[in-house]
Amino acid sequence: MTHPLIARLETDLGWPRLTDMAGVAAFTARPGVHCLFVPGDPVRNLETADAAVILPELRQAFQGAFDCALVDDAIEAELRETTRALKTPGFIFYREGQLLGDIQKIRDWDDYLARTAHILSLTDA
């Protein structure tokens, strides 16, 4: 069963759930900047619920400068290996198919703001 705060991202905010690597490639290749939310296991990792609240707030703080999608359990391990963003919860940023960077684990709000601003300023990884 999906944690209610993660389910809200799909039901209330309309974020897509990416269930295969082809979906990841298609989503991240579109124009603009994209953030993939890698939740991890909300039962074992209590930070997952916090991240599900933080990411929409972060997106709002950057005035929608990026769109977001959820990474499904089925491909989470493969995506984490591919991107080397091994810790969860994690936010992985792309611009038009190019990996820009990631933010792993829960952090202070100011750290999120600084890291996100830096990632958004990058043109390529």
Domain of 23, in residue numbers: 4-121
Q: What is the pLDDT along the chain (125 residues), one digit of tens a residue?
A: 689 999 999 999 999 999 999 999 999 999 999 999 999 998 889 899 999 999 999 999 999 999 999 999 999 999 999 999 999 999 999 999 999 999 999 999 999 999 999 999 997 54
pLDDT of residue 2: 83
Q: What is the pTM of this model?
A: 0.95
Q: What is the CATH number of the domain that holds 99?
A: 3.40.30.10
Strand, helix or coil for residue 93: strand
CA distance 21 to 53: 25
**Total number of domains constituting the chain:** 1
pLDDT of residue 83: 96
Helix 21-29 with 73-83: angle, nearest 10 deg: 60
pLDDT of residue 124: 57
pLDDT of residue 123: 72
Q: Which helix (H) or strand (E) holds 29?
A: helix 21-29
